[in-house]
Chain A
């Protein structure tokens, strides 16, 4: 899609301003119902589009992504633009600088339509914990778009943006991509800079693209990947590669592993059937498919839900009501007119954070507190080492690991909000890629029918560390054969 739009821009069939206006119109029409955006940057996007048109008029060549309108998750900073992370504690926060991914995208003059809704601070799996609005799934507006990058996935699926950036700590790019029938990539930990991404769980967070096709995802990914001196956890190199140029390479002879632990008897038979069809497609492409074992899989979820809140509880000390964000220092429940330091902390965080944020901070604080550290955090880090060993062994036999992205299609709004544990269990297929750091991509493999609505189902491929090139290649080959079969 990006390539076609780029060709039209270069051929003069459309202008960048036309394109931006077209997307702004779709936002105006659809977003009052979908509620994917928290902020729309109409003036800025039109101004930037004018600059691209001037460049084209001068006959200068433009980048593939130049002038192509996208959307940015609200926990990623754009200088001078409000960034709330969908939390009341940052209601008035204006980003003082550009995230590295934003600076990179600005350098190729892409367009930012706005900031997208998300679960508050990216904790959740449905975008329902946003302090502002509940984004709807474009395929069935009584259902969630997934989360936490629900706004980003929904705006791409509903045609309110060509591409979007999300962030993924436990599946937050892939699960909403799956629920909304689009493609989402969580890169290898360390491939994309986290500078300017509001920290959640620092050893798990990674920014990645969401778009309609694997090629579009590759195009955006190429322009955000690479080493950044501002994020010491980024790996060397990686910014010179154009991943879209490798698509179409021969995938014959590659090997995909099917972990027996991911396909237990209680997997939804409709999803199992779609996975079986997908496996047949892989075989048609000349890819060898074999069963593998990831023996520690069942320990991934409890381990994740210890590590993530622990890191969160530490990172979130910054929301103190002193340096930035909401500050409450003389509410009626304070004991004195002017609150003490402790009262400011307690009140600011009580009113500023939603229930899920409070739960995670308290869980993390509890797990890290004296006497519990060994039983929880240390234990979870050991399980993490075992999970990594599982993957290392698997990758001696195969190049990729295939599974569904989620154990179910998009669920009804409100159906899980009262039971946090139930919400957590839906992350079973996605979280291991964050714990082990491997890259993982979700792409549509079909749909299931519920109440007359066709709900998309995503398949997930996990690849070797820093092997996004082959991962994107196989996903792209699958997408083409899947498309061809749908047209039959």
Chain B
């Protein structure tokens, strides 16, 4: 079973705040699923090439051009922004 510290660490990496009461539940739930993943260990895969994209499309290119949004489109986008200043998205200071 995952330890309390492991759950706290993965929650922090996931940027999800947890309360003390949440932790035992996630210890149990996450451990049950991780144990379930163990089934894969019985399958030898050393010579298998992994695949990510299933239909095999590669290198889909497009020209690198900026598109100008209409005033209305900008309004639609900015409407969803929690905090704005002078028409810009307000971001917390990072440092």
Contact = CB atoms under 8 A, between A and B. Distances in A.
Given A346-B17, A350-B16, A385-B50, A366 B39 contact: no
A302 interface: yes
A131 interface: no
A386 B76 contact: no
Contact of B30 (A80, A366, A381, A382): A366
Contacts of A384: 50-51, 54
B73 interface: yes
Nearest to B76: A96
Given A190-B57, A298-B39, A345-B15, A325 B82 contact: yes
Contact of B80 (A93, A317, A421): A93
A424 B29 CA distance: 12
Interface string B10-35: 11111111110000011001101110
B43 interface: yes
Name B's interface SS: loop
B76 A203 contact: no
Majority SS at the chain A contact face: helix
B53 to A, nearest CB: 6
A174 B14 CA distance: 31
A117 interface: no
B92 A340 contact: yes
Interface residues on B, range: 35 or more
Contacts of B55: 188-190, 233, 235, 437, 465
A340 B92 CA distance: 7
A394 interface: no
A425 B43 CA distance: 19
Given A96-B73, A190-B57, 13 more contacts: A233-B55, A299-B43, A301-B36, A305-B37, A306-B40, A322-B82, A344-B92, A349-B16, A350-B17, A365-B14, A376-B37, A424-B36, A436-B54
